[in-house]
Amino acid sequence: MSKYYKILIVLNILLFSIVVAPITAATGYNYSHDGRPIYSTVGLSVTPDGIYTVISERWTNEKGEKVVSEEFTNPMDLFIYPESEENDVIYIVDSASNILYVFDSVMNFKHKVYRFEVRPEDFINNTKLLMRAKTRDDSGSSAQSWDFTKYLKEEKSMEFLDFLAVAEIPYKDRTEEQKFYIQCYDLTGVYRSVRPARDNNGVPIKDNEDKPVMEDLIYLCDMKNNQIVIVDAEDYHVVQIVPSPETVNFANKIFMPSRMVTDRYGRIYVISEGVFEGIMMFSPAGVFNSYMGVNYITLSFWDIFWRRFMTDEQIALQQTTVSTTFTSLDIDNNQFIYTTSRAIGDTNDTRMIKRLNPEGKDVLTRNGYHDPKGDLIYVRTGVDQNLRGPSRFSSITVNNYGVYTVADEKSGRLFTYDDEGNLLYISGGRGNQFRDLNDPVAICYQGENIIALDRYSKTVLRFVPTDIAVVINKAVKYHYEGNLVASSEEWKNVVAKNPNYEYAYVGIGKSLLNEKRYQEAMSYFQIGYNVKYYSNAYKLYRDEMVAKFFTPVFTVGLVLILSGVAYQTYRNIRYKRKDEDAGEGDE
């Protein structure tokens, strides 16, 4: 008997060892076709080695310099620039200490830039200097923005002509007294890109092989100095300043750039705080051209109706209905600008994410089950401003196959959509641990990963796709490239991992539709709740059926009718004659 007991004990242990296998997969949620939240795995998760803070060893460089926590109190923006195929440079700006931090692709700290040198030879043609600088006295609130000429006078006791005269001296021979620096004041945005270099007349410079010479530049949004500082990407000296525009269409407004991107021609698109007209577009030379992509507000019938009966005091007391400003922007490979903005008046949440074409029109594809707008279910009433209302997007990032992710600062979540506007997965979320995302101010795609900057915990998080997200990304990528068969295979893998992933069925159906297997495609579209594609498949199926059965059915019908008519005619002729005969007989 004891032998059996032993076997039983061993079996038990084996059984328990299977059951106790750790299951630590994070459970997230997604939205079903009818807008209900359903359980789903998260799409992107933070691995333990993907958390970077001031205490991590990576943030000390070889020289012993490190990111000090006192100088990293209010990080505002993060930008990833692919310097070569495998090497990225990551820039982070801090708006309190106004420092530009430079990291390599795995977040090893390289160096930081406090101030940016101004070389007189770059400004020799300017009649007056429009740049501004922060006063050296940077003790908190007493700091202020001042003119560069004033800076010259106060700090260096120089006139403008003296400054230009320094250009004559070779750079190596200049003393410290002959070097000039500007410090940013509220550094809120960073961007880096190349643009065709131009000479003083604005003509693109070409090299010997007739290729345009490109200049590699870092753009800095210097908010309280009301300017954009463009510095060289190598040695950080100031190349150009985009000052506050002085044209008629910018009268009585303050230029406070917070985020910006450039397109491949070097045109600069800027979000300026307090400017409701849209995104400001500057020429590469720094001349303000126009606004684009206005967030129009519309008053409903009832709003207009009630406003007619209101007194001026009541209207003044009412919450002002103004257009919302944009909160962030990104540009994709096809030079379309993706933007996020707040919902208009707490309720109109359908156009928070936009894709602007060069004309400024919103061309975002919204073919998903719902409009891309973050959380579908949210608290609509209540006093707590932090809880009420739809998602508040703080950042958007696009990857190279049309997938875009938005960061919601209200819930700390990342929502990822594909190029057709389908919600792919939701990740992140608030919490008390370092890996939680509490106040994402900036996110950026690095390949398949997302690097997120959390202002609340002052951390940089690397979000890595989970097993299912890897497959979803592959499927979306194949679909974007037009390879429906490979895409369908990947969607099948997604369904194997998560049968509740409704959009995957549509993906499989599309491939079946392409293979002319209409009936199967229809059943997949029905599971995936896609009426449009179901209709397309059914139309083709119906055409096929009609083509197949029309001739036989019509022929048989025709023969039957004709024979019926013939029989009737025959009867008529035959019996009519008899009747006639009989009639004659009666008479």
Partner 1 sequence: MNETIAIKNAKVTSFREKLKKFFRFVFEEGIRFPAYILIHPLKGFDIFKREKKAKTSIALAFIFILCIIQILEVQFSGFIVNQRDINEINTPFEIAYIVVPILLFTVSNWSATSFLDGKGKMNEIFMMICYSLFPLIFAKIFSIIISNTIIQSEVGLYNLIMGLGSFLTLYMIFFGLISIHEYGLLRCICSILLTVLAMLIVVFTAILAYDLFQKIYGFVYTIYREISLRYM
Binding residues for partner 1, rule: CB under 8 A, are 33-34, 522, 526, 529, 531-532, 534-536, 538-539, 542
d(CA 581, CA 579): 5
Considering the complex, what minimum distance in angstroms separates the CB of residue 582 from partner 1? 34
Q: Which is nearer to partner 1, 417 or 524 (CB)?
A: 524
Q: Which is nearer to partner 1, 306 or 541 (CB)?
A: 541
Question: Residue 531 or residue 547: which is nearer to partner 1 going by CB?
Answer: 531
Contacts of 110 (CB under 8 A, 6+ apart): 61, 102, 103, 104
Q: Angle between the 518-527 and 531-586 helix axes, to the nearest 10 degrees?
A: 120
Supply the minimum distance, in Å, between the C-beta of residue 538 and partner 1.
6
82: its two tokens? 């692919």
Nearer to partner 1, 95 or 536 (CB): 536
CB of 305 to partner 1, least distance (A): 23
Q: How far apart are CA 371 and CA 364, in angstroms?
A: 10
Q: How far is the CB of 220 from partner 1 (least distance, A)?
A: 51
State which amino acid sits at residue 211. K
**Least separation, in Å, of the C-beta of 522 and partner 1?**
8
Classify 447 as helix, strand or coil.
Answer: coil
Cβ proximity to partner 1: between 6 and 542 the closer is 542
**Shortest CB 536 distance to partner 1, Å:** 8
At its nearest, how many Å lie between partner 1 and the CB of residue 465? 30
**Residue number with CB closer to partner 1 (306 or 529):** 529
In the sheet that holds 353-356, the strands lie side by side as: 326-331, 337-341, 353-356
User: Which token pair is 460?
Assistant: 């940089």
Q: Least CB distance from residue 357 to partner 1, whole Å?
A: 28
User: Which is nearest to 46 in space by CA: 400, 413, 328?
Assistant: 413
Minimum separation from the CB atom of position 501 to partner 1 (A): 16
DSSP output for 30-64:
EE-TTS-EEEEE-SEEEEEEEEE-TTSGGGB-TTS
Of residues 96 and 540, the one with the C-beta less far from partner 1: 540
Complete DSSP assignment for 396-437: EEE-TTS-EEEEETTTTEEEEE-TT--EEEEEE---SSTTS-
Q: Nearer to partner 1 by C-beta: 539 or 576?
A: 539
Q: How far apart are CA 524 and CA 508, in angstroms?
A: 7
Minimum distance from residue 291 beta carbon to partner 1 (Å)? 38
CB of 405 closer than 8 Å to CB of 22? no
Residue 293 or 528 having the CB closest to partner 1: 528
Distance CA 236, CA 112 (A): 11
586 three-state secondary structure: helix
Q: Which is nearer to partner 1, 438 or 526 (CB)?
A: 526
- Polymer length of the chain: 587
Q: Tell whether the torsion through CA atoms of 421, 422, 425 and 428 is positive or negative.
A: positive
Render the burial of 256-268: b for 16+ CB within 10 Å, e for the rest. bbbbbbbbeebbb
- Nearest C-alpha neighbor of 509 from the set 491, 493, 483: 491
